[in-house]
Chains A and B, each alone.
Chain A
């Protein structure tokens, strides 16, 4: 599990600022997922990416949120003009392939607090 690296672990932003969350998947993993966990709730899927491609963004809010997974470097979840409701834990997960039985490993999460 420690192989999926997320940073920062904790981030505080004022309303209207931008938040950038980074995720480096486990070595050899080319599939990356972002999930959001609101207080007292389970995780909710946001977006699924492969290198340079967004495969499924059905869980992403239509505005202010974007994600990328460039050919080089970590995956980035970007939240523009943050509002208090964006305060949550954001988890990245990675997988080596989508074959049956392939475990999905999570990072330690990034906790965003909007003040």
Chain B
């Protein structure tokens, strides 16, 4: 069965520093997709970054990058130069193999990030 694990319930980071949020996944399928979403206190789910299992390079989107280590089945999110507005809950999610009848996402339990001034 597919599973996403986020082992850090909460983290602190100083403003302007970089922070890594951990995510490991478990799947026996060779093709899948990995997502990171941000959920601020207002509640909406904001898409941050996507990594396909066959992508050769790690995904980057502005200050967000995904440290994808396929052999270790990890997809850690790196936020560079943290800002106060980055304080939020962060969810890692996995999508099942390409070509499946559904693209339902499997979510981790989330990491609450607090950026300190």
Contact = CB atoms under 8 A, between A and B. Distances in A.
Interface of A: 1, 31, 33, 35, 41-45, 48, 55-56, 59, 89, 91, 93, 95, 98-109, 111
B47 A45 contact: no
Contacts of B95: 104
Contacts of B104: 33, 45, 48, 56, 59
Contacts of A31: 103
A2 to B, nearest CB: 9
Interface of B: 4, 31, 33, 35, 37, 42-47, 50, 52, 91, 93, 95, 98, 100-110
B64 to A, nearest CB: 14
Contacts of A42: 4, 91, 107-110
A11 to B, nearest CB: 13
A45 B105 CA distance: 7
Nearest to B104: A45
18 contacts: A1-B46, A33-B105, A42-B108, A48-B102, A93-B45, A93-B105, A95-B103, A101-B33, A103-B35, A104-B47, A104-B105, A105-B47, A106-B47, A108-B43, A109-B43, A109-B44, A109-B45, A111-B43
